[in-house]
Structure 1
Amino acid sequence: MNTVKEQLHKSGYKLTPQREVTLSVLLENKSKHLSAEDIFQRVKEQYPEIGLATVYRTLELLYDLKIIDKANFGDGVSRYDFKQSGAKHYNHHLICVNCGKVIEVEDDLLYDVEKIVEHDYKFKVLNHRLTFHGVCRECQLKDESNE
């Protein structure tokens, strides 16, 4: 939280109570990829007078300041999580088409592909995203037990 506070101050912003509770919700749910609405519902439990627009503005500010990442998994809903400190790339994701679970893959699976693109196409890669859509282990086990 102190690191985020410093980043906000360097950029001319304060850590308001609304921003702090939004950050707390993100920290408490680090392993999840919450939508703005999910975050709003959790923030509202702790700060009942907050509005959805305030949560949206806070998330956009944190995204603009590169404190959090925003990802869209093809369903039109933006989801947020903390940026991996020191990471060059976004995390890769595995998305279960049955239950909607999102699993992060922190390995940089495209390192070799990136080097080929840079060499063969003379294209400087700044970032990439990789998303697999499939069925998670839990859903596979449910399916097997229903057969």
Structure 2
Amino acid sequence: MSKRTTIIDRCETRGLRLTQQRRIIASVLEMSRDHPDVEELHVRAAARDAGISLATVYRTVKTLEEVGILEKVDFGDGRARYEDAERDHHDHLIDMESGRVIEFVDEDIEALQEKIAAKLGYRLRGHRLELYGVPLTSGGGRKID
């Protein structure tokens, strides 16, 4: 998924003060390919700088969300997770057994959403789709067709 600019670039463009700790947190977010919550971000950032507190991560994430650099996502597990607000559009499938989040894009779904909005008299400006499911497996771990 491509990004137009880095999170650090967007912080600088918006005039946000970037301490060394904020730079580390932004870098960790930039490298994340999953949807980490604040606690996971703290673990990753503290691995680079043990002086980064959980409170610093909370404040940084809140600031980045307020200025539109991060987007909060909630997959129904009680944990607020975050992703770059400028990532290419995608939808999510959440495995309810493992908690794994699978990102996907499906042109048929995109077209259907546009069609539904038009049928109801609207032009779609955006959407968020989250599917929740369990694997189609038998007791032996084999996929059921």
1:54 matched residue in structure 2? 56
1:99 CA drift (Å):
1.2
Q: Work out the CA distance in 1 between the residues paired with 2:15 and 2:27.
A: 21
Q: Work out the CA distance in 1 between the residues paired with 2:75 and 2:129.
A: 10
1:128 CA drift (Å):
1.3
Q: Work out the CA distance in 2 between the residues paired with 1:25 and 1:109.
A: 34
Percent identical among aligned pairs is 31
Contact 1:5 1:14 in 2 (8 A): no
- The amino acid that maps onto 1:49 is G
Question: Are residues 1:21 and 2:24 paired?
Answer: yes
- The amino acid that maps onto 1:21 is I
Closer, same or farther in 2 for the Cα pair 1:99/1:46, shift >3 Å?
same
Larger helix share, 1 or 2:
1
Closer, same or farther in 2 for the Cα pair 1:116/1:66, shift >3 Å?
same
- The amino acid that maps onto 1:10 is T
2:12 matched residue in structure 1? 9
May I ask how many residue pairs the two structures share in their alignment?
A: 138
1:40 CA drift (Å):
0.9
| RMSD value, Cα | 2.6
Give unpaired runs (5+ residues) of structure 2.
none
Please give the secondary structure, in 1, of the residue aligned with 2:57: helix
Point out 4+ residue stretches in structure 1 off by more than 4 angstroms: none
Give unpaired runs (5+ residues) of structure 1.
none
1:116 matched residue in structure 2? 115
2:72 matched residue in structure 1? 70
Contact 1:101 1:136 in 2 (8 A): no
